[in-house]
């Protein structure tokens, strides 16, 4: 047993002797716990990936398929996402604004609280306001007590005129000289009971002119569990009328304009049917049916079919068994022409199928005025497609098209690869050759561009040339010497080999960036122009030798002026310009700048010539110094200084750990 523990102690001792692990025991334990945590996280992530199908890097296929059982969505969840037809009409709102201006209904019955305004004019002048008492009477000092209970407005007018005629004789007869007008003033509210499947059932004081529609609005509307097809109105303890609101919602018709009266009871029974109509109908949703209605009727309630509807209707019915304890779904299809023959059941689900959308298109790609996807029709030919893409009648645009070769890429049902059909556009547009080709559905037609016709970027040449400016390339291999000659040659101030060539980065990018680079503009400060233009236009400086170097479109060339100086920079005592002396070595210029300082690296000195060529200075190879050259002295490598305090602390920690291990080893041996 002791030997077993000794092996662990020795292993720990060896690990502490590793130089990279010169740390305390606590730090080692902390690192170990962090490592275990990372490994645990990786294991968890790997398990999670394998559960959903980790990809095998060798086969590219999932290691394990995640099989999820198919769950049939419940009918209740489907109903929550569907819209119940008609119920949002009864949104509670402020309705006084339009009720106050309603004319008095002819069948309105006067009752306690109504205000009657009687106006006489002509030979007799009178304006008097009366309020019907609880007993249904109004009282006039001259006429007496008049009972208006149960009378409509028209009946009240006849009755009041007769009674006032007994006092005012000029009201009587055909040639009466006094005239009467009777109108309603302030109206009482009536109390109507709304019970059943409403959002807020109860007794409501409503406007006396209210109909069943406006009354339900004031009561807050019907709940989706209530019926819109069988609303009952009870009056004086008896069933007065039954209302079906679908005719009003869909056609704006009511069987009769039913005015509510005081103490009426409006009963909203539970809906007996839940009919879902969806897919290719104008207003998909959940509807209600009554006995005798057919599939066709419910589709009409849903606004009819949409233009993309097919003639096939899917019906899903609940077919109850004989013992009424279990039920099954009875699914079938029928044609639209037979929809009037199939009667609706309680929970039918009607799906008006949409017509199948076939992929009928052709794609036009490349050098055309309007590339894109076009609808395909039977008998479509290549000339038809070219006309849709802008045509080939434009004599200027046609020059930008490579007419000798175009391709039709056609799918091949017998191969995994597409078939390439090469065509000659010149022959196709020549009607005399009758070479037009019929296209097939899903073909892709590729029209190539004539690169020779497109404008290429000019070259900017600035500085010490006789005719600076912008010049187009004359050939693919035009040299620097040729362009200088076209620019009138170098001026007398031009620096030998002091020519900077700047080339666009897009030639060296993978993939090349599709961007427009701005042209180089002439600046008076030619020395700063190189850096500014490189940054602005995305160009890099080209190192070159010999005037035979080939130029590229978009190049920028700067001819520097003779400066008679050499620039010494980097780790020297006096950084700056040194007068150029022909034939002097690099050491002369370094000494003229004060020599290399203590931070400079004598083995890392380079010379940058005006044409961009860079040459290092070696002990047995000293580069020639030219006018306008730059000498750069780089810094020595940054070495971390010895930290005596850190070394002492680490050593003490290691010795303490060794002593602890020795003591533990002795104690184990003693056992």
pLDDT at 62: 46
> CA of 513: how far to CAs of 438, 453, 509, in Å?
37, 22, 7
Going by DSSP bridges, is the β-strand pair 275-279/576-579 parallel, antiparallel, or unpaired? unpaired
What mean pLDDT comes out for the span 444-455? 89
For residue 452, what pLDDT is reported? Answer: 84
pLDDT at 406: 94
665 or 88, higher pLDDT:
88
pLDDT at residue 300 in the model: 95
Q: Is the pLDDT of residue 392 over 80?
A: yes
Q: What is the mean pLDDT of residues 643-667?
A: 76
How many Cα atoms within 13 Å fall on the side-chain side of residue 487?
A: 27
Q: Which pLDDT score, from 0 to 100, does residue 543 have?
A: 83
Give mean pLDDT, residues 151-159.
Answer: 88
Residue pair 537/651 in contact by the 8 Å Cβ criterion: no
In whole angstroms, give the CA distance from residue 370 to residue 391.
9
Asked whether the predicted pLDDT for residue 611 surpasses 80, the reply is: yes
Instruction: Answer with the residue of higher pLDDT: 564 or 255.
Output: 564
Scored b (16 or more CB within 10 A) or e, 151-179 reads: bbbeebbeebeeebbeebeebeeeeeebe
**For residue 663, what pLDDT band results from cuts at 50, 70 and 90?**
confident
> Highest mean pLDDT: which of 22-31, 47-56, 622-631?
622-631
Report the pLDDT value the prediction gives residue 64, as an integer from 0 to 100: 43
> What is the per-residue pLDDT for 43?
46
Tell me which residue has tokens 């547009």: 429
- Which is it for strands 349-354 and 275-279: parallel, antiparallel or unpaired? parallel
Confidence (pTM): 0.52
Give pLDDT, residue 369.
Answer: 93
Structure tokens at 617: 């200075």
Alpha helices of 459-606 — where are they, by DSSP H?
480-486, 526-537, 586-592
| pLDDT exceeds 80 at position 57 | no
Q: In whole angstroms, give the CA distance from residue 426 to residue 429.
A: 6
pLDDT at 266 over 90: yes
- Residues 428-451: what's their mean pLDDT? 89
Residue 381 pLDDT:
93
116-125, 162-171, 203-212, 247-256: the lowest-pLDDT one: 247-256
Q: Identify the band that residue 214 occupies on the pLDDT scale cut at 50, 70 and 90.
A: confident
pLDDT attached to residue 403: 92
Position 211 scores a pLDDT of 85
pLDDT given at position 318: 81
Q: How far apart are CA 132 and CA 123, in angstroms?
A: 27
- The stretch 77-84 carries a mean pLDDT of 66
For residue 568, the model assigns a pLDDT of 92
pLDDT tens digits along 554-602: 889 999 888 889 999 999 999 999 988 888 888 898 888 888 898 888 8
Distances (CA, A) of 204 to 208, 215, 241, 537: 11, 9, 20, 79
Residue that wins the pLDDT comparison between 214 and 293: 293
Mean pLDDT to the nearest integer, 425-445 = 88
- Please give the DSSP secondary-structure letter assigned to residue 222: B
Residue 16 is predicted with a pLDDT of 47
Q: Report the candidate in 224, 220, 182 with the shortest Cα–Cα distance to residue 203.
A: 220
The top-scoring range by mean pLDDT among 98-112, 272-286, 533-547 is: 272-286
CA distance linking residue 254 with residue 298, whole number of Å: 19
Convert the pLDDT of each residue in 312-338 to its tens digit.
999 998 876 555 556 677 889 999 999
> CA dihedral in degrees (445, 451, 453, 454; nearest 10)?
100
Domains belonging to the chain, first-starting first, are 87-93+189-268 (3.10.560.10), 112-184 (3.30.1950.10), 275-354 (3.10.560), 361-451 (3.10.560.10), 459-561 (3.10.560), 565-635 (3.10.560.10)
pLDDT tops 90 at residue 298: yes
Q: What percent of the chain has pLDDT over 90?
A: 35
For residue 226, the model assigns a pLDDT of 94
**pLDDT of amino acid 569:** 92
Residues forming beta bridges with residue 145, ordered by sequence position:
139
CA distance 228 to 290: 10
Please provide the average confidence, as pLDDT, over all residues in the chain: 80
| Top-confidence range, 243-257, 267-281, 452-466 | 267-281
DSSP SS3 for 311: strand
Residue 51 is predicted with a pLDDT of: 39
């Amino acid at each position: 047993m002791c030997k077993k523990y000794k092996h662990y102690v020795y292993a720990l001792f060896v690990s502490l002797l590793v130089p990279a692990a010169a740390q305390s025991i606590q730090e080692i334990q902390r690192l170990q716990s962090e490592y275990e945590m990372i490994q645990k996280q990786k294991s968890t992530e790997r398990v999670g990936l394998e559960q959903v199908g980790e990809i095998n890097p060798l086969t590219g296929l999932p290691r394990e398929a995640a099989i999820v059982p198919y769950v049939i969505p419940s009918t209740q969840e489907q109903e929550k996402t569907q819209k119940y037809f008609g119920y949002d009409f009864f949104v509670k709102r402020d309705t006084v604004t339009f009720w106050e201006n309603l004319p008095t209904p002819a069948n309105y019955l006067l009752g306690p609280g109504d205000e009657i305004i009687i106006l006489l004019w002509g030979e007799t002048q009178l304006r008097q306001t009366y309020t019907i008492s609880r007993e249904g009477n109004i009282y006039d000092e001259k006429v007496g007590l008049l009972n208006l209970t149960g009378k409509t407005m028209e009946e009240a007018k006849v009755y009041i005129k007769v009674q006032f005629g007994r006092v005012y004789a000029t009201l009587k007869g055909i040639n009466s000289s006094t005239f009467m007008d009777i109108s309603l003033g302030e109206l009482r509210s009536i109390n109507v009971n709304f019970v059943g499947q409403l959002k807020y059932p109860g007794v409501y004081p409503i406007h006396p002119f209210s109909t069943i529609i406006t009354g339900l609005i004031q009561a807050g509307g019907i709940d989706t569990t209530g019926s819109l097809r069988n609303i009952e109105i009870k009056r004086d303890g008896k069933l007065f009328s039954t209302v079906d609101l679908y005719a009003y919602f869909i056609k704006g018709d009511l069987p009769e304009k039913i005015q509510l009266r005081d103490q009426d009871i409006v009963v909203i029974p539970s809906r007996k049917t839940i009919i879902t109509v969806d897919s290719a109908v104008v207003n998909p949703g959940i509807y209600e049916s009554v006995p005798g209605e057919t599939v066709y009727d419910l589709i009409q309630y849903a606004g009819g079919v949409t233009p993309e509807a097919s003639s096939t209707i899917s019906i899903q019915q609940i077919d109850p068994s004989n013992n009424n304890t279990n039920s099954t779904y009875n699914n079938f299809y029928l044609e639209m022409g037979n929809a009037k023959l199939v009667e609706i059941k309680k929970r039918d689900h009607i799906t008006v199928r949409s017509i199948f959308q076939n992929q009928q298109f052709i794609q036009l790609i490349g050098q055309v005025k309007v590339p894109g996807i076009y609808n395909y029709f039977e008998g479509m030919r290549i000339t038809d497609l070219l006309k849709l893409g802008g045509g080939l009648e434009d004599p200027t645009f046609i020059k930008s098209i490579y007419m000798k070769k175009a391709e039709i890429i056609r799918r091949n049902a017998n191969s995994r690869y597409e078939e390439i059909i090469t065509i000659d556009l010149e022959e196709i547009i020549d009607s005399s050759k009758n070479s037009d080709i019929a296209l097939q559905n899903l073909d892709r037609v590729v029209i190539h561009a004539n690169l020779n016709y497109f404008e290429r970027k000019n070259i900017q040449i600035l500085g010490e040339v006789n005719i600076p400016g912008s010049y187009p390339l004359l050939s693919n291999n035009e040299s620097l010497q040729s362009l200088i000659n076209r620019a009138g040659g170098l001026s007398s101030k031009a620096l030998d080999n002091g020519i900077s060539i700047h080339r666009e980065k897009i030639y060296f990018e993978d993939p090349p960036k599709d961007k427009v680079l701005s042209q180089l503009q002439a600046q008076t400060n030619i020395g700063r122009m190189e850096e500014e233009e490189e940054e602005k236009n995305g160009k890099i400086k080209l190192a070159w030798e010999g005037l035979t170097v080939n130029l590229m479109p978009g190049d920028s060339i700067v001819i520097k002026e003779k400066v008679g100086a050499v620039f010494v920079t980097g780790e020297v005592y006096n950084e700056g310009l040194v007068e150029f002396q022909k034939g002097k070595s690099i050491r002369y210029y370094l000494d003229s700048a004060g020599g290399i300082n203590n931070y400079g690296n004598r083995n890392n000195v380079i010379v940058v010539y005006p044409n961009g060529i860079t040459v290092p200075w070696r002990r047995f190879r000293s580069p020639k110094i030219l006018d306008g050259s730059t000498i750069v002295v780089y810094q020595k490598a940054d070495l971390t200084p010895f930290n005596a305090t850190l070394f002492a602390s680490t050593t003490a920690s290691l010795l303490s750990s060794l002593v602890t291990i020795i003591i533990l080893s002795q104690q184990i041996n003693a056992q």
